[in-house]
Structure 1
Amino acid sequence: MISRIRLSYHENVYRLACRSRTAAAVSIAATVPPLFTSLSTLASSSSSASDRDSVILKRLNHKDWLTPKEVLNIVNSLRDPSSAITVLELYSKRKDYKPNEAFYISIIKKLAQAKMFDSIENLMQRIKLERSCRLSDDFFYNVIKTYGNMAGRIGRAVETLYDMPRYNYWPSVKTFNFVLNLLVSAKLFDVAHEVYISAPKLGVEIDACCLNILIKGLCECGKLEAAFSVLDEFPKLRCEPNVRTFSTLMHTLCEKGKVEDAFGLLDRMERDEIFPDTITFNILIAGLRKQGRVEEGKQLLERMQLKGCYPNASSYQEVLYGLLESERFVEAKLVMNRMLLEGMTPSFVSYKMMIQGMCKMNLLGDVDWALKQMARHGFVPKMGMWKQIVRSVVSKESSKCICYENIMGN
């Protein structure tokens, strides 16, 4: 009897403990941070995606004949992109295995989404060996783009360009220029030069875009004379330079302080009937500003409009910075007003410089105007600006008091 009582006592204690644990678990679950909740939701959605994909993949185990379009629909229906490798394995074992370009593109797209770049390389080797279908330039362009932009494997992108003839396809100038630009953007100038001189071996005919990319690369690595040598190559290769060619050279000249040489190129453009665009004029205005030639920058702003080239926010902003740096604040306000009328927003820095200058000149009415314009465009003045404004107001009021006292004393 006593043992039964003890047993029932222990059972009650155990039940109470279970209840308290359950209650504690409920209270803890109620206070789970959103991050953990979202992770659990993500895990459940991931598992549901895998379950859905497994149902889709079962179709590849059936003996029913599948058309290439049906296989493509299977790939495109996958929720989990990593399942694409399973599709490839199952499909390659079937008797109706007949991959086409659309199938390969979809598989590579899914593998890229899953960041399975090694699998893409393996697939490319498989395609080379199988030679099951003819591929287009768009296919190789997208593969190279995936290697260069998504995977960061620029070396593999170059290798794929060189490897294209082994797939019985020669690269187009579009794909060739993409690789060239990829190398220049990555500042791999020596490799870019090697690719450029390999154009004849790859059957690529050099065009103006290719030469522009070379000029860009040479300018960025400081080889300005070599860049001008490429400009001289245009007629020899039956190409014509365009506005981008000259703008790139002008930018480098202005960066080196050779603004007069940049204007010489502008004259050459006009002689060759190559019309400068807004970017061209902005480069020249910025070059003038760096040399403190603000008035010439203003004149060039007017000149571009006379030539039917309309200024943008950058055009006005360069002139505005020049005026502010020269402490010509009244003129700067006129340019700001013009920008606002044109629907453009001056930068926060220009507002800051304007307020500092107006405070210095005790033009508090203009300071009030600038503050209102800042607020209208979502800019918030920082503490340093407020301190400067308060000092100016206090200083002006003190001056008034001293002046009043002097008048009363007289």
Structure 2
Amino acid sequence: MATKQFLVMQLLKEDLYENPALVAAGACKFILGFLLAAIRPIPIPSKFRSSTSQFPPKLKLLFKTMIPKSVPRTPFHRKTPNRPLPPPFPPPPPPDPKDSAILIRFRHKDWLTPKEATALANSLTNPSSAVTLLSLYSSRKDYLPTETFSISIITNFSRANLPHALQGFIETLDLSEFSDDFFFALIKHYAHCFNRIDKAVNTLFAMPTKFKCLPSTRTFNFVLNVLVSSRFYEVAHEVYAAAPRLGVEVDACCLNILIKGLCGCGKLEDAFKVFDEFPQLGCEPNVRTFATLMHGLCEKGDVDGAFGLLERMENFGVGADVVVFNVLISGLRKQGRVDEAKKVLERLMMEKGCDPNGGSYQEVAYGLLDNERFEEAKEIMERMVLMGFGPSFMSYKVLVKGMCEKGVVVEVDWAVRQMMKQRFVPKMGMWKQIVRCVVSQDSRSSTCAYLDSVLEG
């Protein structure tokens, strides 16, 4: 013991502060001396003794961590670069004053009616504040989670992207007392906000058995449409087949969704079989029914069959709208029958009393540009601009490229100026084509005049 104390005193007397390495070693020896003095009265079992060390393994590990080591090298034997420290996390934003005032209402002892609680929940500015609101409200004696209040809470949880909070809240409710409006909202949030289509389908099937609530046709059709839009065609067929078990009466909207799914997976024959079942189920096809079938036929390349459905529409007394004609124009354009598409746009739609929209003109313009009929495409695009429809950036890009290849500077100038009016900015590749077209002209004076006008404009 005296020897160790003598060594410690010698270390303290030495002038070690000038050498950092010696300072570190001296500190380790200093601490080591006290540890030795502390453990000397404790007998060391023989199983811990060895020829190389007289200390237990835990103390050996402690000593190793105390001894300073050099910086470990990388596998490539190079020093690691000095990387800047990551920025600190930003402080949490202060609570919204409106939400603070709302939450204070739930801390008061005044009685809150369910209508007042629902109004306060609907007026939250930050949807994540619904967690605090629900915690405060559930601890009160007047807590009564009505259907409208519950819809407000799950809406806020969905907006704040809090699926676990929503699921925990659902488990505390007695859903057997709620109507179809609540389940429709819940299924809608499951499918759209959280992308949990499986939960939406399970909730639909659990409504009549577990929650004692028959789903409405609106809720049933919503789930069916989500499945078809997500291309889960087999599950959609199972849901459709379960309509009688769920107590749902199939309507024309349900059949249209089923036809959309069958056309999407290429089963046109089955789609027409469903179409033939409309009279048997007491439903009448509408314009959406025919538009979906026409789109399926056009995707298969049977445009003539799609025009045949146009005649059947008249027999059913269903008038064609702009969506139907756009489907036909698009089908003709994909087959390269641009002249027929122009006739549909300029004659047939007018005869049927249907006004074309921007999509109608755009499809014809695309067809003309695909066939390098740039002058006619320019006329269609001019008509679009006069009618208040803006041509797409791609149509301007193809038109400028075609006009530059032909060397028509005036037409290029018109296309560029129209692009700027539509707030489209030509990219570098387009500018290269324009400059190459302008410079390649024979007339130097006209070229300079054009460049001056572009720079001034």
- Common fold by TM > 0.5: yes
Q: Which residue is 1:336 aligned to?
A: 381
Q: Say whether 1:255 aligns with 2:299.
A: yes
Residues 126, 292 of structure 1: CA spacing in aligned structure 2 closer, same or farther, 3 A cutoff? same
The sequence identity of aligned pairs, in percent, is 53
The AA in structure 1 aligned to 2:138 is: E
Query: Where does residue 146 of structure 1 map in the other structure?
Result: 189
**Is residue 134 of structure 2 the alignment partner of residue 90 of structure 1?**
no
For residue 306 of structure 1, report the CA deviation from its aligned partner: 2.1
Question: Which residue among 104, 108, 122 is the counterpart of 1:55?
Answer: 104
Amino acid at match of 1:105: I
Question: Partners in 2 of 1:76 and 1:330 — Cα distance?
Answer: 57
Matches within 5 A, 1:233-248: 233-248=277-292
Name the residue aligned to 1:45.
Answer: 94
Contact 1:243-1:276 within 8 A present in 2 as well: yes
C-alpha separation in 1, matches of 2:281 and 2:237: 17
**Residue of structure 2 equivalent to 1:381:** 426
Work out the CA distance in 2 between the residues paired with 1:85 and 1:255. Answer: 51
TM (normalized to structure 2)? Answer: 0.71
Going from structure 1 to structure 2, the CA distance change for 1:89 and 1:99 (only over 3 Å counts) comes to closer
Secondary structure, aligned partner of 2:239: helix
Max Rg structure: 2
Equivalent position to 1:104, from 122, 126, 150: 150
CA distance in 2, matches of 1:210, 1:310: 29
Q: CA RMSD for the aligned pairs?
A: 2.6
In structure 2, what is the Cα distance between the partners aligned to 1:334 and 1:47? 55
Q: Find the counterpart in structure 1 of residue 62 from structure 2.
A: none
Aligned to 1:157: 200
1:138-217 pair list within 5 angstroms: 138-165=181-208, 166-217=210-261
1:385: how far off? Answer: 2.3
TM-score (structure 1 length as normaliser): 0.79
- In structure 2, give the amino acid aligned to 1:82: V
The whole-number CA distance in structure 1 between the counterparts of 2:298 and 2:120 is 56
Ranges in structure 1 where 5+ consecutive residues have no aligned partner: 1-34, 401-410
- Larger % of helix: which? 1
1:84/1:111 contact within 8 Å kept: no
Unaligned ranges ≥5, structure 2: 1-86, 446-457
Partner of 2:368: 323
Q: 1:174: how far off? A: 0.4
* Larger relative contact order, structure 1 or 2 (CA cutoff 8 Å, min sep 6): 1
Is this contact kept in 2: 1:301–1:315, CA < 8 A?
A: yes
CA contact (8 A) 1:81 1:113 kept: no
SS at 1:118 equivalent: helix
Structure 2 CA distance for partners of 1:108 and 1:389, relative to 1, 3 Å:
closer
Find 2:317's aligned residue among 266, 273, 278.
273
Aligned residue for 1:6? none
Deviation at residue 310 of structure 1 after TM alignment: 0.6
1:351 corresponds to which residue? Answer: 396
Q: Name the aligned partner's letter for residue 265 of structure 2.
A: C
Shift of 1:346: 1.2
Label 1:207 to 1:47 Cα distance change in 2 as closer, same or farther (>3 A).
closer
